[in-house]
Amino acid sequence: MIELARQHRQRLFEAMPENGMVVVTSGAEVIRNRDVEYHFRPQSDFFYLTGFEEPEACLVMTKRCDEAGQTKTMTGLFLRSKDPEKETWEGKRLGVDMAPNRLKIDQAWSNDQFESVMPTHMAGMETLWFSFDQLGHWLPRLQPMIESLKAQGRKGVTAPSRLEDLDHLLHEHRLIKSEAELAKLRKAAQVSVQGHLAAMQSVVAQRFEYQLQADLEATFKRHGAKREAFATIVAAGENACVLHYTENRAPIGANDLVLVDAGAEFEGYAGDITTTFPASGRFNQAQAQLYNWVLKAQRAAVDVIAPGVSYFQVHETARRVLVEGLVDCGILHGEVDALIEAEAYKPYFMHGTGHWLGMDVHDVGAYKQDGQWRLLEPGMVMTVEPGLYISSEDEKAPSDFRGLGIRIEDDVAVTDTGHEVLTLGLPRTVAEIEQWMQAHGEN
């Protein structure tokens, strides 16, 4: 990841105007309760540019034009100093001396040097770039330094005169994945596949949602994932109609469908898969009918993914098939176009068909440009996850469908000629799922 991060910095330097400074923080540890911290994960922008995972670090990148008209760049890092006593309790720190060579950067300083070192590098800069999501963090620290530099104007010292949101620049870079990043996403996807297969295999032998979650997440760990990419959803029966259900404490009924939405994080990159399967290993007629329509919508949406296709066209494609399915199942009545126009499907399909995927499970990058849905480009990675959710309290729906929640999700990369499904390896059709569970299920 260190070499990949260096390449990311180089790309950012090339896009930056001269006499600009970028600052990005890793974030700090957060107390969970008393003196116990949440497990630390660096902010994605910081990790993207450094490959460094310690808390309380700050990346500084400067690009300036010197008096000879030459462009000079500098990459520096503020980080925690070595501390033998704390390292005994908390683990080894990289330290200032090792950082330049290990992280392939120019300079490193201890955090207690921030106030003294930063003004030197800020002098002569025209623009400061940082994420405006962190205005509350940066303004109190940078404002006194800017004021101090402005007070030295008679000495020829100049201070930054513009603040720019780094997100607009950096997040467009993160949206288009390199081949090295795609390799990590493929690995995250395939580790995620193994976790979902483990859940399908063990469901017959388990009584509670959390037991299924344990099997899935243990499989992630066994295949090298450091953590889950997001909070795992294991939703049995009508719990699947709650889109972000994460309690995972309910019993699994023998005739329930189980919706599992989970992904592994591998070397900073996320997988994101949703599977829906019968706890018994067999779909009943209503479950199979609704499932087949969701699968048809999902496959139709995946099939349209290619360079030059509007992002929204993927959603439109899935939406039309889902509405056709709602009519076929007797849940909606009328002409498909009229039902779409009236948004009659919204009680049953209330979310988008996907999102960008990368270091964050809901990854960065604009969905629209100049007010228009953007066109897909090679290197983009997105999820495709249509679903149908029929409330148990919906008296207008046929009783056999009430309480069913079905979502099917895969991770898809846009290629030069079309697309690549990263999450291949899961049984998806009704017949495939039933056959796989019969052959592999625990009794």
Contacts 24+ apart (CB under 8 A), 283-287: 283/257, 283/430, 283/433, 283/434, 284/255, 284/400, 285/400, 286/329, 286/398, 286/400, 286/401, 286/404, 287/257, 287/404, 287/406
Are 85 and 190 members of one domain? no
The string of pLDDT tens digits covering residues 137-191 is 888 888 888 888 888 777 777 778 889 999 999 999 999 999 999 999 999 999 9
Mean pLDDT throughout 13-36? 91
Alpha-helix residue ranges (DSSP H) falling in 361-400? none
The string of pLDDT tens digits covering residues 222-267 is 999 999 999 999 999 999 999 999 999 999 999 999 999 999 999 9
Are 214 and 341 members of one domain? yes
Quote the number of domains for the chain.
Answer: 2
Are 334 and 408 members of one domain? yes
Domain of 219: which CATH number?
A: 3.90.230.10
The residue among 145, 174, 203 that closes a domain is 174
- Mean pLDDT taken over the chain: 93
Collapse the DSSP code of 284 into the 3-class scheme (helix H, G, I; strand E, B; otherwise coil) and give the result: coil
pLDDT for res 443:
55
Backbone angles phi, psi at 149, to 5 degrees: -70, -40
Give percent of the chain with pLDDT exceeding 70: 99
Active site residues: 35, 244, 261, 272, 351, 355, 362, 385, 389, 407, 409
The string of pLDDT tens digits covering residues 304-347 is 999 999 999 999 999 999 999 999 999 999 999 999 999 999 99
The residue among 174, 204, 219 that closes a domain is 174
Question: How far is Cα 365 from Cα 173, in angstroms, rounded to an integer?
Answer: 8
Q: Which residues contact 191 (CB under 8 A, 6 or more apart)?
A: 220, 223, 224, 225, 264, 266, 271
Are 111 and 235 members of one domain? no
The string of pLDDT tens digits covering residues 34-80 is 888 888 899 999 999 999 999 999 999 998 887 777 888 999 999 99
Domain containing 150 equals 2-174
3-state secondary structure 114-161: HHHHHHHHHCCCCEEEECHHHHHHHHHHHHHHHHHHHCCHHHCCCCCC
State the pTM of this model.
0.93
Are 369 and 282 members of one domain? yes
